[in-house]
Structure 1
Amino acid sequence: MNILIHPTYFPNIAHFAAMLQGKEVVFEMHDNYQKQTYRNRTFIYGANGKLQLSVPVVYSQKERQKYQDIKIHNTEKWQSLHWKSLESAYRTSPYFEFYEYELQPLFSQKTEYLLDFNLKCFETILECLQLDLNISETKEFQKETTDITDFRYLVNSRKEPNFNLDTYTQVFGEKHGFIGNLSILDLLFNEGTNALSYLENQFKHL
């Protein structure tokens, strides 16, 4: 099947599990931007539990803006804060050092537009996973679709279903228990080369 999905900031496990099932993954490029979604946020597992990392954006509620037109608020030092949070959360994980040199440039090089940055993050994760997906982009926005499986609802972080994903070992799991559907980074740092096989088995929960 072909699937339609939003590019997000270091997609969560449900996003990746869905994408792995598609013969073709079509990115929605022409939607309106909405606040409080995974477009500009991801969740990791910090020492105190679930931790949100948000990319600050220049956004006006007075008029609708296309996702592709949203700029990152780069006057804030959010990149260094996000990287420090990742180091604090995952420095002791089995695979952090294995991937950090591929990921660190994303937090030191500035990108003007949020969508462009999310695509860079996605491409880097594909390289880390050694995964080759057939990716295309929408030409226009369509509210209803008939010939493609629509996973765009996964972008909504406020109304997320309970996916009941399989467990895996997490750095602070003994302290706070298993936390599911975090950023792909959590799975990557904890499972490394096993991440791909884990993702392939999670579609049954979506």
Structure 2
Amino acid sequence: MIVSANQPYFCPYPGFFYKACLSDVLVILDNVQFPQRTTWINRNRFKNDQGPLWLTIPVWKKGLGLQDINQVKICYEGRWPRKHLESLKTAYANAPYLPDHLSFMEEMFSRRLERLIDLNLAIIRYLMDCLGIKTKLLLLSELGVKAAGDRLLVEVCRALGASVFLVLSQVRKHLKAELFQEAGIELRPLFYRPPVYPQLWGNFLANLATFDLLLNCGPKARDILLRRQPGAWHFVTSQPFQPK
């Protein structure tokens, strides 16, 4: 079994879903500490006529000390949900597949979910469905694993009976490979270069929110995400390529 893990990003970039595609199980790290600095968990980039369009989900932090990700609540002060939606509708007004996803985007900014994790999971599940990804999603909080740091990831693999832990190559060098080796788990690197696809507004920008790929490419998004060619994605394995 191949397992990977990721924090629950807001509107994740394509690499998140490519890694998910090559995993049997993707574990969402929902009960680890919410970063005190800037994080992809509550912000991401889209694209408009000015270039990168940053959207941030305001959250309550002041006076709350350290919080786990699944404890963080969305702050609905101000009119940011309407402004975010209008920014996206303006930026992607000419995107050929905006009509296919507009109703979800409207729902995304109107539901007023209390916790950030619930918003992000709803988005992640929607994008996985659009991309035809059948990988099982599990929350770390559901596994009952008690460990920290690299040991946490090893114990996650043990709890799931995984033989392989899949990790982006640039992250792998920061992990203690010997812990995985001692547990009989292969620490398998995934090398990433973002796929290039047709975009609005001038020069291509890589690693935008996956909505950019979907709104511009529609049903072709999955093939673009999974295609293997020089300069695209490749996966270090002796096994055949079998996306979920």
TM-score by length of 2: 0.73
Indicate conservation of the 8 Å contact 2:59/2:75, yes or no: yes
- Superposition deviation, residue 56 in structure 1: 0.3
How far apart, CA to CA, are the structure 1 residues paired with 2:5 and 2:55? 25
Indicate conservation of the 8 Å contact 2:195/2:225, yes or no: no
Q: Where do 1:81-160 residues align within 5 Å?
A: 81-138=83-140, 139=143, 140=145, 142-144=148-150, 145-146=153-154, 147=157, 148-150=165-167
| Higher Cα radius of gyration | 2
RMSD, aligned CA: 2.3
- Superposition deviation, residue 119 in structure 1: 0.6
Q: Which one-letter code corresponds to 1:105 in the other structure?
A: E
Indicate conservation of the 8 Å contact 1:71/1:113, yes or no: yes
**Shift in alpha-carbon separation, 1:197–1:142, aligned structure 2, 3 A:** farther
How far apart, CA to CA, are the structure 1 residues paired with 2:209 and 2:3? 23
Asked whether 1:187 is paired with 2:213, we answer: yes
Q: Identity, % of aligned pairs?
A: 23
Indicate conservation of the 8 Å contact 2:3/2:25, yes or no: yes
Q: Which one-letter code corresponds to 1:24 in the other structure?
A: V
Q: Secondary structure at the match of 1:181?
A: coil
Could you say which residue in structure 2 is the equivalent of 1:158?
none
How far apart, CA to CA, are the structure 2 residues paired with 1:165 and 1:136? 26
Residue ranges of structure 2 left out of the alignment (5+ in a row): 158-164, 172-190, 237-244
Could you say which residue in structure 1 is the equivalent of 2:186?
none
- Superposition deviation, residue 61 in structure 1: 7.0
Indicate conservation of the 8 Å contact 1:164/1:180, yes or no: no
Q: Secondary structure at the match of 1:57?
A: coil
Q: How many residues align?
A: 195
String of CA shifts for 1:16-65, please: whole Å, max 9, x gaps: 12111111111112110013111001100111001110000001377211
- Superposition deviation, residue 103 in structure 1: 2.6
Residue ranges of structure 1 left out of the alignment (5+ in a row): 155-161
- Superposition deviation, residue 205 in structure 1: 8.3
Q: Secondary structure at the match of 2:214?
A: helix
Could you say which residue in structure 2 is the equivalent of 1:169?
198
